[in-house]
C-alpha cells in the first residue's frame, strides 16, 4: 500500500520543507523504507500541527514546533556520534546518523554549520553529565561529612572527570578543537567552556557576585584548556601525564593566589609606613594643621 | 535548576525557556549593578554630608539600598546569573557621583537621588511588565522582590523631592546629565 500523497502545508517550517524534499528525492541506500519513514514522521508533524489554531493566533505553536524540531535535531546528532570514529566531525557523520534513524541523509541540511554542530552537541552533553555528577557528589558530601574534599581536590577531580569524557573521541578531538578555533565558531566554543567552568565553580562552592566571579572562571578555563591540549598528545598509561600536568597547574594557581594575598598585605603596610613618613615631614616643617594647638 | 538539559549550552533557537532564562539573567545582572551603584552613591554623599542636617535622611535611604544589594547578591548564585564585568567601574563611578553632587550642596545631592531613582523606577516597572507577561506565577519570587524594591525607590524619589531637590541651581541640566548617565549604565550592564 503506497503512502498517501502529502497535503499542501499551511506552515512550511524548515523541518517540513526538509523532510518533504527528502521524501521526494530518490534515496540511494534506504530505498522505499527511508521514504515512508520520513513521510511518516512528516505526517506526525502535520497531525500535531492540526490540533492548534491558526499560526498567527497561537504563539505557543512556534514554540511547540521548535520544541519538536529541537528534539529531532538532538536525536539526529546523538545518533551521529558513533559515526565520528569513521567519518570525523563532519556533515557526513550527521548524514549517516540521520540515515540510521530512518530519515533521509539530506537531513544534514538542518545543520548549516556542519560538523561543528556535532562537536557542540557532544560538548554540551558532557557538560550536562558533569553537572549531574557534581550535583550528586555534593549531595553525598553533605550526607557524609567524612567524604568532604578540599576545594582544589574537588576541582581537580571535576576536571579529570570531564577530560575523561573526551577519551572516547580522543583520536578525532584535535579536529574538534580545530573546528572550535575557527572565528565563526569561537563564540559558541567560549560559551561551552564558560558553562563548564561555571558548573565546576558553582558545585565547588563559589557563590561570588563581584569581579572575582570572572577571575576565578578565567583561571579555571585556562587550566582546563591547557590540560585538554596536553591530553591530545599524551601517550602515557591511562593519561597519567595529563593528570600530573593538571595538578601542577592547579598548584601553580594556588601559589599565585597566595603570593598576591601576601603582596596586598605588603602594600597595605607600605602605605601606612608612607603615611607616617609624610606626617613626620609635615610635623618637622610645622605644616601639620591637625596637631597645631 | 533553571537550565533545560536538551538545549543546555547549545541554543539552536530562542525557545520560550531560553528567552525566559536570558531575561532573568539580564534582569538580575542589571538590578545588582543598579543597587551596587546606588549603595556607592549614598556612600559618597554620606562621606561629604554625613554630619549635616540631611545626614540621617541619606543614612536611612542608604540602609535600604544595602538591603536591596544584599538581596541581589543572594539571587546571583541562586539563579546562576553572571554579574556584570563593570562592577569595579560602577564602584568608583557611583562614589564619585555621590561625593561630587554632595560637594555641590545638599540640594544637588537630593537632585542626584531624584534623578537616579526616577530612572530606576521606570526600569523596574518595565522589568515587572516583562516578567508578568512571561508568567506571573512562575516568576512570583522575582516579581515580589522587584515590586517591593520599586516601592522603596519611589519613597526615595519622593524624599529627595521633599528635601528641596528642585531648588538646586541648574536642576534641569543636572538631572538630565545624571539620567542619561544612568540609562547608559543600565544599557551596558544589561549586556556586559
Torsion of CA A225, A226, A227, A231, to 10 degrees: 100
The answer to whether the beta carbons of residues A176 and A119 sit under 8 Å apart is: yes
The answer to whether the beta carbons of residues B6 and A72 sit under 8 Å apart is: no
Whether this model's ipTM surpasses 0.90 comes out as no
**Contacts for A135 with CB less than 8 Å, ≥ 6 apart:** A203
> Shortest CA distance to A166 belongs to which of A185, A186, A180, A183?
A180
pLDDT digits (tens, 9 = 90+) for A115-165: 899 999 999 999 999 999 999 999 999 898 888 888 889 999 999 999 999
B117 is in an annotated binding site: yes
- Per-residue pLDDT for A27 more than 50? no
Looking at beta carbons, which residues of chain B come within 8 Å of A210? 83, 87
The answer to whether the beta carbons of residues B142 and B88 sit under 8 Å apart is: no
Average pLDDT over residues A267-275: 80
Please report, rounded to a whole number, the percentage of residues in chain A having pLDDT higher than 90.
51
The predicted model scores a pTM of 0.76
Provide the shortest C-alpha distance from residue B10 to chain A (in Å): 6
Provide the shortest C-alpha distance from residue B168 to chain A (in Å): 33
Q: Does A124 touch chain B (CB under 8 A)?
A: yes
Amino acid A17: pLDDT: 52
Q: Dig out the grid coordinates for B29 from the structure.
A: 545582572
B73:A123 CB<8 A: no
Amino acid A150: pLDDT: 85
**B179 versus A283: which is more confidently predicted?**
B179
- Per-residue pLDDT for A22 more than 70? no
Amino acid B4: pLDDT: 44
The sign of the torsion formed by the CA atoms of B171, B174, B178, B180 equals positive
Q: State the count of interchain CB pairs (< 8 A) between A and B.
A: 57
Tens digit of pLDDT per residue, chain B (192 long)? 444 444 444 444 456 777 888 899 999 999 999 999 999 999 999 999 989 899 999 999 999 999 999 999 999 999 999 999 999 999 999 999 999 999 999 999 999 999 999 999 999 999 999 999 988 888 899 999 999 999 999 999 999 999 988 899 899 999 999 999 999 999 999 998
- Name the residue among B8, B13, B32 with its Cβ closest to that of A66: B13
Interface of B with A in 120-159 (CB under 8 A): none
pLDDT digits (tens, 9 = 90+) for A87-119: 999 999 999 999 999 998 888 888 998 889 999
- Name the residue among B10, B72, B83 with its Cβ closest to that of A121: B10
Angle at the Cα of A112 from the Cα atoms of A107 and A117, rounded to 5 degrees = 90
**B92 versus A269: which is more confidently predicted?**
B92
Looking at beta carbons, which residues of chain A come within 8 Å of B5? 128
B156 is in an annotated binding site: yes
Amino acid A1: pLDDT: 57
Amino acid A7: pLDDT: 53
Amino acid at each position: 500500500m503506497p503512502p498517501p500523497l502529502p497535503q499542501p502545508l499551511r506552515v512550511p517550517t524548515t523541518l517540513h520543507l526538509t523532510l518533504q524534499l527528502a521524501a521526494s528525492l530518490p534515496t540511494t541506500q534506504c530505498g522505499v523504507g527511508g521514504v515512508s519513514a520520513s513521510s511518516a514522521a512528516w505526517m506526525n508533524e502535520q497531525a500535531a500541527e492540526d490540533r492548534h489554531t491558526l499560526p498567527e493566533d497561537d504563539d505557543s505553536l512556534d514554540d511547540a514546533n521548535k520544541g519538536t524540531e529541537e528534539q529531532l535535531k538532538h536525536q539526529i546528532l546523538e545518533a551521529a556520534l558513533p559515526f565520528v570514529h569513521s567519518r570525523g566531525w563532519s556533515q557526513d557523520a550527521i548524514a549517516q546518523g540521520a540515515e540510521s534513524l530512518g530519515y533521509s541523509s539530506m537531513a544534514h541540511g538542518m545543520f548549516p554549520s556542519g560538523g561543528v554542530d556535532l562537536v557542540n552537541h557532544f560538548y554540551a552533553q558532557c557538560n550536562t553529565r558533569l553537572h549531574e555528577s557534581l550535583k550528586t557528589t555534593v549531595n553525598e558530601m553533605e550526607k557524609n561529612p567524612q567524604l568532604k574534599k578540599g576545594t582544589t581536590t574537588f576541582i581537580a577531580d571535576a576536571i579529570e572527570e570531564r577530560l575523561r569524557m573526551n577519551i572516547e573521541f580522543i583520536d578525532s578531538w584535535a579536529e574538534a578543537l580545530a573546528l572550535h578555533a575557527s572565528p565563526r565558531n569561537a563564540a559558541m566554543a567560549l560559551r561551552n567552556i564558560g558553562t563548564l567552568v561555571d558548573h565546576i565553580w558553582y558545585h565547588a562552592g563559589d557563590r561570588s557576585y563581584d569581579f572575582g566571579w570572572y577571575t576565578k572562571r578565567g583561571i579555571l578555563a585556562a587550566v582546563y584548556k591547557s590540560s585538554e591540549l596536553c591530553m591530545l598528545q599524551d601517550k602515557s598509561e591511562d593519561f597519567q601525564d595529563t593528570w600530573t600536568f593538571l595538578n601542577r597547574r592547579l598548584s601553580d594557581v594556588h601559589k599565585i593566589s597566595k603570593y598576591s594575598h601576601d603582596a596586598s598585605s605588603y602594600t597595605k603596610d607600605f602605605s601606612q609606613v608612607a603615611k607616617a613618613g609624610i606626617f613626620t615631614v609635615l610635623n618637622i616643617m610645622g605644616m601639620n594643621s591637625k596637631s597645631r594647638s | 535548576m533553571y537550565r533545560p538539559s536538551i538545549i543546555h549550552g547549545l541554543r539552536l533557537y530562542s525557545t520560550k525557556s531560553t528567552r525566559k532564562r536570558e531575561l532573568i539573567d539580564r534582569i538580575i545582572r542589571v538590578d545588582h549593578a543598579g543597587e551596587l551603584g546606588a549603595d556607592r552613591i549614598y556612600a559618597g554623599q554620606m562621606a561629604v554630608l554625613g554630619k549635616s542636617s540631611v545626614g540621617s535622611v541619606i543614612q536611612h535611604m542608604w540602609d535600604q539600598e544595602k538591603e536591596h544589594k544584599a538581596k541581589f547578591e543572594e539571587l546571583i548564585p541562586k539563579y546562576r546569573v553572571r554579574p556584570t564585568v563593570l562592577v569595579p567601574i560602577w564602584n568608583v563611578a557611583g562614589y564619585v557621583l555621590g561625593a561630587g553632587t554632595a560637594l555641590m550642596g545638599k540640594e544637588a545631592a537630593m537632585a542626584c537621588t531624584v534623578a537616579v531613582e526616577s530612572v530606576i523606577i521606570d526600569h523596574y516597572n518595565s522589568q515587572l511588565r516583562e516578567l508578568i507577561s512571561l508568567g506571573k506565577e512562575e516568576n512570583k519570587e522575582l516579581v515580589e522582590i522587584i515590586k517591593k524594591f520599586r516601592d522603596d525607590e519611589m519613597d526615595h524619589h519622593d524624599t529627595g523631592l521633599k528635601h528641596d531637590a528642585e531648588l538646586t541651581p541648574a536642576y534641569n541640566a543636572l538631572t538630565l546629565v545624571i539620567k542619561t548617565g544612568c540609562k547608559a549604565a543600565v544599557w551596558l550592564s544589561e549586556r556586559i
